[in-house]
Structure 1
Amino acid sequence: MTQTIGIIGSGLVGKAVAHLAVAAGYNVVISNSRGPETLSKLVGELGPRARAGSVEEAIAAGDIVSLAIPLPTFESLPADRFAGKIVLDQTNYYPGMGDFRRADLDNGELTSSELLQQRLSGARLVKGMHNLGWIHMQHNARPKGDAERTTLPIAGDDAGAKEAVTHFIEAIGYDVVDAGSLAESWRIEPNTPIYFWPYAPVVPEDLVEEEAKKVFQQAGKPISPEEARTLIDRTVRPSPIGGTLEGMPPIHVALFLELASADTVQR
């Protein structure tokens, strides 16, 4: 039986997940906070395996439910609808963006995924597909056996949920390594060795912006499972905790602002 991926969030990350899932033969129900009627163009692009729905419909339909949303919006999630659901947490803590800041995250009392697990207490939450940009999420995907196939980490407390998420990530184009529990997911959060940079190509500094954008949208150097394990094991907890736009390459920020603005206009 074909599985369904429920996606909450139709921004750049949610769209990337949807395209990868459909290409791998999954059904998709994608949602956002504005309602299914705003997603007709995207669903048309995705084809017959995809449909738009409300957030509640995406949760109900999903064998796996992807949270492709900004972390600050987590309290708006209908927590009671997630009981028993496998949830793929793609959020990241970026305290410098907006006014969302929490002492329990800043002082390391909780990881951001532990915070979400507390909110969605009945869910089976797995951290994953959060540590590379939406561009490289699509450009780096490769079939099994391809020499350019790279590796993504996951973390979670539920072995069955981890197995299901691993199967999904492998199906859409990546090898997977287990980074441990949700309490250990700081090892794969922003500002760690396996976050973002390994999946992005090196952009020569002397390129003009348009050429730099073209290079940046190519795949990064592949990481083997063994190399990914080494990156995770050698990680020291970052201080301060959380990501910053200053920690991202300027070309990534420029592309994000450009595409996010175009997306807003199209809506």
Structure 2
Amino acid sequence: MTDEASRIGVLGVLGAGRLGSVLARLAADSGLRVLVAGSGDPALIARPMAAIGAHATTLDEIVAEADAVVLALPLGRVATLPADALAGMLVIDATNYWWAADGIRPDLDDPRGSTSELVQAHLVGARVVKGLGHMGYQDLEDEARPSGAAERKAIAIAGDDAHDVATVAALVDRLGFDPVVAGPLAAGIMLEPGAEAFGADVDAAELRAMLDRFPSSQRGIVVARARGGRLFDAPG
């Protein structure tokens, strides 16, 4: 196990829906202690969480005990999370703007910025890395493979801090996928709905090719125009 992987011994998951449950099971299967908080009383999800090796709990317990937190809830609900409580924590943003869940929200669909940047703007003090949200939950459940296995699929991540990106990359590997670094947090827009990589169930080489094609794609051109001709710059 790499040093980065060993830094996450307890993983918190905010959201007990399909994505949150799949990620919780993968993490528990990998040997992590997994804490899951839904939107209501933990007792309501205690049995299904126990069945996949996770523990149903509260946000407060996750903040107190987890080494990293995955956001697996509707993007529109991120604004209800207590920023002070999550300050200083490594937060893995698996959210996406989805009109069926979030409603019609032009503020969440602005090509001038990625949705993970909006998450970071709300969670001031947290260390946000985009990841685990561009592959469908069913593919996540079906495609996990040991490191080095043939036909292993890839998951892209984006973040501004190299150490945090390395930590999340090690977690992705531990969950059963090859990590591909997309770039800074602003590059997370390449993993959102409308981009080729969103919904991709491909290996690392093809995922990298998708990211490389983004600037010339229809979505990439829209983003570049909205950003004054530039896609994104390295942090700092």
TM-score, length of structure 2 as denominator length: 0.85
The separation in 2 between residues aligned to 1:24 and 1:53, in whole angstroms, is 20
Tell me which residue corresponds to 1:67. 71
SS at match of 2:139: helix
The separation in 1 between residues aligned to 2:11 and 2:102, in whole angstroms, is 29
Aligned length: 214
The separation in 2 between residues aligned to 1:185 and 1:153, in whole angstroms, is 9
Q: Where do residues 1-267 of structure 1 align in structure 2 (5 Å cutoff)?
A: 3-47=9-53, 50-95=54-99, 97-103=101-107, 105-196=108-199, 198-199=200-201, 222-223=202-203, 225-235=204-214, 236=217, 238=219
Q: 1:160 to 1:98 in 2, by over 3 A?
A: closer
Give percent identity, aligned residues only.
35
The separation in 2 between residues aligned to 1:58 and 1:52, in whole angstroms, is 10
Q: Name the aligned partner's letter for residue 129 of structure 1.
A: L
**Off by >4 Å, runs of 4+ in structure 1:** none
The separation in 2 between residues aligned to 1:79 and 1:237, in whole angstroms, is 35
The separation in 2 between residues aligned to 1:43 and 1:227, in whole angstroms, is 34
Q: 1:98 to 1:25 in 2, by over 3 A?
A: closer
Q: Name the aligned partner's letter for residue 157 of structure 1.
A: D
Q: Name the aligned partner's letter for residue 27 of structure 1.
A: R
Q: Which ranges of structure 1 fall in alignment gaps of 5 or more residues?
A: 200-221, 242-267
Q: 1:54 to 1:137 in 2, by over 3 A?
A: same
How much does 1:121 deviate?
1.1
How much does 1:177 deviate?
0.8
The separation in 2 between residues aligned to 1:174 and 1:42, in whole angstroms, is 24
Q: Name the aligned partner's letter for residue 144 of structure 1.
A: S
The separation in 2 between residues aligned to 1:70 and 1:240, in whole angstroms, is 24
How much does 1:102 deviate?
3.1
CA contact 1:106–1:240 (8 Å) conserved in 2: no
CA contact 2:182–2:188 (8 Å) conserved in 1: yes
Q: 1:237 to 1:161 in 2, by over 3 A?
A: farther
SS at match of 1:155: strand
CA contact 1:187–1:237 (8 Å) conserved in 2: no
SS at match of 2:11: strand
Q: Which ranges of structure 2 fall in alignment gaps of 5 or more residues?
A: 1-5, 224-236
Q: Which moved more, 1:144-153 or 1:37-46?
A: 37-46
CA contact 1:56–1:78 (8 Å) conserved in 2: no
